[in-house]
Chains A and B, each alone.
Chain A
């Protein structure tokens, strides 16, 4: 096979077939992967959740993952937030002419591995090739459906005063990793993206505590943005203990140098979980035993006071407002 992707690979002819056979089918092969125009699927009884997401991260390869792994995690985690077991997924690629074939293989391999970890089946795909400079490297869009667990209802409008607020690990690592990978600042630090598929962890906690009120994926905008969104949707406030918020020392150092707030840096493998206070311990214990959520911590509570605001109890014993999310910090983070 050629060493780079060419326009002919997107033309629908022999080379397209070769690309699909040698790269995509080689990695995505399963009995449901369709050779026809659409996949034919058996849908189970019950409520389904469906989500779609486009991925344009720059750089496409970063410490802790690549755009392929990210494209599975992002969409699978969106479903998991609704308590849905990811079942079927489609993926569409837009590839820049000249993109190295070995890199495309690496991306497909990462997608295969991540999809297998959560048990989602890739059932259909699409490949387009755009001329040099018309896209940057490779863009991927994934869409997935999943079945919502019986008796589970989560949503951003369901947070109640008194609930506990849990994050599933240290915050801001993906955003910090991308920022460093761009090399705009000339800073080096040992920081790895938190990019991870979280369905198994969600399955475990919803089995242990089906009455969890909110699960949200803290991607673009980070945990801070998610909390402000929930505060608005549920008309509640948040009171956080700033010292309980887990932050990797490397991330803290970079944020200190650049004046950034870790709560506003993107995560790609971290959930915000809001649940009745009496479920706090069982949820934390379960998360600490589950994959990718070993560093879970309770960071605060939902309050009736100051609705719409996120308040931090600081290390010096004062209370401050977490500034509202501002302008987008970095484009093309996921």
Chain B
């Protein structure tokens, strides 16, 4: 059942991604990208990544959609028609896509417990994090403790982006009489 849902949701995501490419009304595109993100969140629940699903639903489907709708109040809502399909773009995408698919032939199969990724540091996190860090949620332990520097870097990125957004938008406001 869960496997069937996995296939169906991935199929719906492909349809949403193609509709984003196809539609010209940017409001519809913004809503579709929110729906796409929410489908992604559902897929993460199926793949056992509940923390990621929460974050994706709140940040990806929530905040990102609000930011896009906010932008659309300031810029035109329709994409200009008449843009021809890009042959160079199609070629690039086809070449990159086939190279990537060729590269996946070496990958471990879906759900394979013997995949190398499951035998490096993850077993140690599962075994020792309760004693070493405390929270029952191992993702929290890894995020805040074992890989705390990543999270510090993430905070720096958000801070920098916030400064950038404020600098860009405040400048426009000052110009007006």
A in complex with B: no
Question: Interface residues, chain B, CB within 8 Å of chain A?
Answer: none
